[in-house]
Chain A
Amino acid sequence: MASETVPTTGRRRSVEGKPTFAVAFTALFLFVLYVPIVVVVLFSFNSKKSLSVFGGFSTRWYQDFFNDEGLLSSLRASLFISTVTMLCSIVLGTMLALALERVTSRPARITGTVALIPLVTPEIVTGVAALLFFTGLGMKLSLTTVIIAEITFSISYVAVIVRGRLSSMSDEVEEAARDLGCTPFQALRLVVLPTILPALIAAGLLIFALVFDDFILAFFTTGIDPQPLSVRIYSEIRMTISPAINAVGTCMLLVSVLLISLSLVVPRLLGRKDSSLDLISGG
């Protein structure tokens, strides 16, 4: 580990003292991060079909995008997959997190831990397994199969984020609810869940974004219903790409900015100190 950090030594000195160099490095880092984003946005307004030569300003690719039923249906499909996956994995993942935090019997604990394995399994393994499972069962590959695979992949992410929040919540909060007249289920519904709501929002946003952008699982499990956007983009990149893709990318970027802003603002609206972003970065 130490040897890997050696190249940064020159930087480190100034970080501990005056952070000029570190700030410059971070600025450069963010700049490099944004270079392709700028290219995508810029070329989405290119009047030429070229992806390397900028001809002039035009919105033709946006028109293409909004008139391209294929792309639009892929976009709708991806939104649908992400939304359903988000909702289902939040429900199942939260159940898992609660159970992991609370069950005491050994078999239950083992079961709960096993359910976290997808977290340390590369997507391609999950994808291959899902594909073989679905084709083996004779299930038609469709948005449903993509959603099932994505949920399987997402449950453990939600569980880990939510569990992090749960473990920082005193047991006494729940006992207080019971004390004040709640049944175990009411305590869960009226107190525990509202308390961990920021973590649920954070997990939801993260899952939405991960699933929306996920390619590998979708690639293995998608059927013929409109394909998820990532799969369509992949096949376009592999074959002949249309600059309309840049328009798609720009729109996705806008949505992403919106989501992130929401994650910053929503917890504040709910009067919470811990923003969802902290939880994302903490998870």
Chain B
Amino acid sequence: MTEPRLSMNRRDFLRGSFGVGAAAALAACGFSGGSSTPSASSNASSAAPMAQAKVDGDLIYYSWADYCDPAVKAGFKSKYGVNIVETNYDGYAGMLAKIQAGNAYDVVLPGARYVELMRKQGLIQKLDKSQFKNADQLFGWGSYFDNPWYDPNSDYSTPFSMWTTGIAYRKDKVTTAQGSWNDLWNEQAKGHIYVLDEDDEAIGMAALKLGLDVNTANPDDLAKIKDVLISQKPYLRAYSTDDINNMASGNAWIHHSWSGDFLNFIKTQATDPTQWVYELPKEGAPLNSDAWVIPTNAPHPGTALLWLDWLMQPDNVAKNIDYLGYPLLTKTGPDLYAKAASAYPSLAVDVSKVVNPTVYKNHDPADQAARNAVWTEVKAA
């Protein structure tokens, strides 16, 4: 592809609309990946000393909405005398877009593949683990996350939670479930089936159904995935990540769902928990994790470190597992979770399986664009 040089285009554009004065302002930034701010500052920060765990301001918090027990937050606030300025995202892609746009947060909770992406783009900073009083809860007890695939030695992140993606359905409405991704094409529940509104999850689900790799970027595979997803639309009620409410409202009979949300729903919202089943389809189920990171441009990295440490504290871990319904990846987390989810064997999460092929991975830009295009076209159709 012949691509005119960016600098020239930008100059042309400036001449047209801003005049010379603004040129200097624009030149420092812009749309190109080349010399733009994040990567530049990452170089600076890798040379700079790592942050110290001490209060240096309020905590600018960026995560899923309601993805932390309010009591845990309240405890942090009163212990350190700081405020938590909370902002939420409703999907990882949107989260990344905001960070790339230059928004400065202290702590962010990306999914594993986004941790890798952000690390490679220089968007997050290296953590000094000696700053964590509770480091022993997270690392050094033989945890896989001492050296996870997305972040060697967990240098840049502290692992948080883990989940499977499966299918939740109502026994009273659906009697013909096959324990397969085909259940998302179930005739009985036609018009009452939800699929998660996340590109990786939807494409991954279709890939598993077709016996393909969840991370495929092969054009033929993607064409098949697109067709199969479009073929599913007549069965669907909607694409939505709001699985808990969709199940609670009665609109969903079958929901492409995250294990933790299912447990949360069963414990807090379901009118009759015994009606609900969470199945892991036989073709395989995605197993993923997330981790806390501190962005390079975090205004208060000291408070951020204190927050990460706070989350590792066993009593807080217990509270969060109880509140969220997700296993947390500390020494005590998996056991606490196992107890909480004991009634639902399908919700068991085997930490050792986290290196399985159903983990969402990163792609080179062209492949990523191809996957994005599939998802766009499926949604638009």
Contact = CB atoms under 8 A, between A and B. Distances in A.
Do A and B associate with each other?
yes
Interface stretch (A37-45, A68-76, A172-180, A246-254): A68-76
A136 B98 contact: no
A51 interface: yes
Given A237-B242, A239-B65, A136 B26 contact: yes
Interface string B48-91: 00000000000010101111001000100100000111111110
Interface in B35-55: 36-37
A69 B29 contact: no
Nearest to B265: A240
A67 B74 CA distance: 9
B95 to A, nearest CB: 11
B102 A52 contact: no
Interface in B132-174: none
A84 interface: no
Interface stretch (A17-25, A151-159, A191-199, A218-226): A218-226
Interface string A237-264: 1111110000000000000000000000
Interface stretch (A100-108, A137-145, A203-211): A137-145
Interface in B230-276: 241-242, 244-245, 248-250, 261, 264, 268-269, 271
A127 B84 CA distance: 28
Interface string A64-105: 100111100100000000000000000000000000000000
Contacts of B64: 239
Interface in A115-130: none
Contacts of A135: 29, 31, 101-102
A224 B104 contact: yes
Contacts of B261: 240
Contact of B105 (A49, A69, A224, A242): A224
Interface-central residue, B62, B66, B85, by most chain A CB under 10 Å? B85
A138 B37 contact: yes
A236 B88 contact: yes
Contact of B241 (A51, A53, A239, A242): A239
Given A137-B26, A138-B28, A240 B244 contact: yes
Given A141-B98, A224-B85, A235-B88, A136 B62 contact: no
Contact of A136 (B30, B86, B104, B269): B30
A69 B87 CA distance: 11
B85 A73 contact: yes
A11 interface: no
Interface of B: 25-26, 28-31, 36-37, 60, 62, 64-67, 70, 74, 77, 83-90, 98, 101-105, 241-242, 244-245, 248-250, 261, 264, 268-269, 271
16 contacts: A49-B269, A53-B271, A70-B84, A134-B101, A135-B101, A136-B31, A141-B102, A232-B65, A232-B87, A236-B88, A238-B241, A239-B65, A239-B66, A239-B88, A240-B65, A240-B264
Interface of A: 49-53, 64, 67-70, 73, 131, 134-141, 223-227, 232, 234-242
